Structures are given as structure tokens and as C-alpha cells.
Amino acid sequence: MLPLVSIVGRPNVGKSCLFNRIIGRQLAVVDNYEGLTRDRNYAQASWNGVEFTVTDTGGLAPTSKEALTSEIRRQVDIAAEESDVIIFIVDAGTGPTDLDEIIARHLRRTQSEKIFLAVNKAESPRALDDINLYFSLGLGDPLPISALHGKGVADLLDVIVDRLRKLDKVKRGQGVA
């Protein structure tokens, strides 16, 4: 069974675009329409000789009472619980939003050791200047990326693969957690 990497975040931050970038093909539908991704999409990926499964999840909106949104939250929770690594993706153009903070708090409580914070749409100099704002989410170093243009995605995958390699050694009893 391959390690599982899940991509989570609020609607329209670029989860499906990053998913497609990581797997190297257009499997997930990408549009500005909120709620387009409703179920988890799975695909195999490989980076620097490490194979893994990546999951694209629907946008997490935990404050909504709508049935569809609560189902998306349930799907994200399932994916996060199953995951070896979680990419929490936010939008550089908005700064950390209240919803980002709610999601970050939820993930910190349940999955803190698995999370990497990716700040998407960070292709402009202004977005890079604002990257330090994301430390407020309490999830460590924010990694600037542009899923659309591929910028920073290799760096993100490098840290993910490094974590997966460490987890693999722990699973085989060759290392210390």
C-alpha cells in the first residue's frame, strides 16, 4: 500500500490544480466555480523515486450547515485521517482568512504532525512579500507555490517525499520516530 498525501483547504484555493500538477495530467476538473470537487479523487504520483497516492478533496467549509458542505467536510476528515501527509493549501491573494484559521485550528488539533502549509498563487513579488502573514496559522513554515505555473511545487514535493521516506523507515523499524 502506497503512502497517502491529501490536499485540503477551503474552496477555490487551487487544490485540484495542485493535484493535477503533482500527478502530471488533467484528471481533476479545475474551474472558479465553488463546490466543483465533491468527492475525493485519488491518483498515483511519483517524485524523486518515491511513489505515493495523492488525494484531491472538496473545499472545506466547516461553518456551513448545508448538507453538501457537511458531506465535503466529512470527506476531508476521512482523507486527513487516512493520510500520511496533509497539504493544507491557502490562497496568497487573500491573506489568511477566518475560514483558513478555523481549518488550521481543526487540523492542528487532529493532525498537526502531518501538515505542510502551501501558500498557492504566490507567483507575484507582492504575494511573496506577504508570505510571513501565514505563520499566524500556527502550521510552521509556509511554502509559497503556484500550482498553475509549477513554481515552488518541486520544493513542496521535496519536503513531502523527505517526510514519507522518514515514515517508511519508522514503519520498517529502521529508524526512530
Q: pLDDT tens, 112-163?
A: 788 999 999 999 888 888 899 999 999 999 999 999 999 999 999 999 999 9
Residue 174 CB partners (closer than 8 Å, separation 6+): none
Residue 166: CA count within 13 A, CB half-sphere: 12
Average pLDDT over residues 95-112: 82
- Per-residue pLDDT reduced to its tens digit, 37-69: 445 688 999 999 999 999 888 766 555 555 445
Is 68 or 173 the better-scoring residue by pLDDT?
A: 173
Burial of 2-16, coded b for 16+ CB within 10 Å and e otherwise, reads ebbbbbbbbbbbbbb
Written as one letter, the residue type at 2 is L
Strand order in the sheet with 50-56: 41-47, 50-56, 4-8, 85-91, 115-120, 143-144
C-alpha torsion 168→169→173→176, nearest 10 = -120
pLDDT of residue 44: 92
Q: What is the pTM of this model?
A: 0.83
pLDDT of residue 76: 63
- In this structure, of 30-34, 101-105, 121-125, the range with the lowest mean pLDDT score is 30-34
Cα separation, 176 vs 151, in Å, equals: 33
